[in-house]
Amino acid sequence: MARFVKKQKQEIGVSPDELLFRGRQKTDEITLRIIDYDSENLEENAINKIQEALEFQEKNSVTWLNVDGLHNASIMEEISKGFNIDSLILAEVMNTRTRPKVVEHKNCIFISIKMLQQNSETDLLSFENLSLIITKTVLISFQEKKGDVFEPVRERIRKHKKRIRNSGTDYLAFALLDIVIDNYIYVISVLGEKIESLEDDIAIEPRQSLIHEINNYKRELNFLRKSIKPAKEMIFALSKMESDLIDENSYIHFKELQDNINHASDATDSYREIMSDQLNIYHTTISSK
């Protein structure tokens, strides 16, 4: 399979708004969770049917519906009909290979971004597509599998932090995206420490195995760049978007996202240059010896 462009033969000719799962299924069970809150009240429940979430649309509060698992077309259809969301958007949600993007529709904003997580115990990197649909009072997040990456945001809501409890769905979207980008920076920092640790070995005791390590790190870095560069474009587009669904006070927070994604992008460029220098030093040292 091609590394950068992936298309299954059976997908050719399929209508763009057909609710067809495109990707690798990462969970068997679909999990639905609701958090509904305002400045005074909080309700948090696991639900079994989308129908249970529809009643919250009538409330003057912020409703966060989180969907873990993207392969159930009937659930996506219920979301489309129940929340009056174009099926074209839900078809995008079900395509895990979609490029990071932000698109404003007539009654919502659709955001897609790649989410990376580094397991500190196993050192393994997990990768999944995150989609957000933002309406005036409801934010729907879609993850490929169940996880706790957004638990810090839930804790801020539970602990009655004023900024998030007094803000709307636009600020909630910022809080979730902020977690995603912070994970970018963390993943890059972990890889960066490995890259920097090679410098002394290259200068003092150059060996063939170092070339293999550098090449492995280059592949990892290129993988990160493939996610971060389009995410940067998406964040910049979001920060410039003029929408009735984004409060004027929220743009300062989206500017913060800009700064953070710039930091992540610049770091990948810096480490790319470092590895190029390391290769030059390696070959110079070998030649001198």
At 15-55, the pLDDT tens digits run 777 899 999 999 999 999 999 999 999 999 999 999 999 99
Q: What is the mean pLDDT of the chain?
A: 90
Nearest CA-CA partner of 182 in 237, 235, 121: 235
Find out whether 67 and 26 touch, Cβ atoms under 8 Å.
Answer: no
How far apart are the C-alpha atoms of 99 and 231, rounded to whole Å? 9
- Is the pLDDT score of 165 beyond 70? yes
How many whole angstroms separate alpha carbon 87 and alpha carbon 2? 28
Q: Which residue has the higher pLDDT, 88 or 126?
A: 88
Name the one residue in this structure whose structure tokens are 């809080």.
175
DSSP 8-state code for residue 28: S
**Whole-angstrom Cα distance, residue 105 to residue 32?**
24
Paired tokens of 34: 């609701």
Distance CA 108, CA 82 (A): 14
Using CA atoms, how far apart are residues 17 and 89, in angstroms rounded to an integer? 7
Q: What is the mean pLDDT of residues 185-204?
A: 87
Instruction: For residue 214, count other CB atoms closer than 10 A to its CB.
Output: 19
Tell me the percentage of the chain whose pLDDT exceeds 90.
74
Per-residue model confidence (pLDDT) at position 4: 45
Residue type, 144: E
CB atoms within 10 A of CB 188: 26
CA dist 75 and 70 (Å) reads: 9
Per-residue model confidence as pLDDT tens digits over 145-156: 998 899 999 999
Give mean pLDDT, residues 281-287: 75
Q: Are 57 and 129 in contact (CB under 8 A)?
A: no
Contacts of 19 (CB under 8 A, 6+ apart): 73, 76, 77, 80, 87, 90, 91, 94
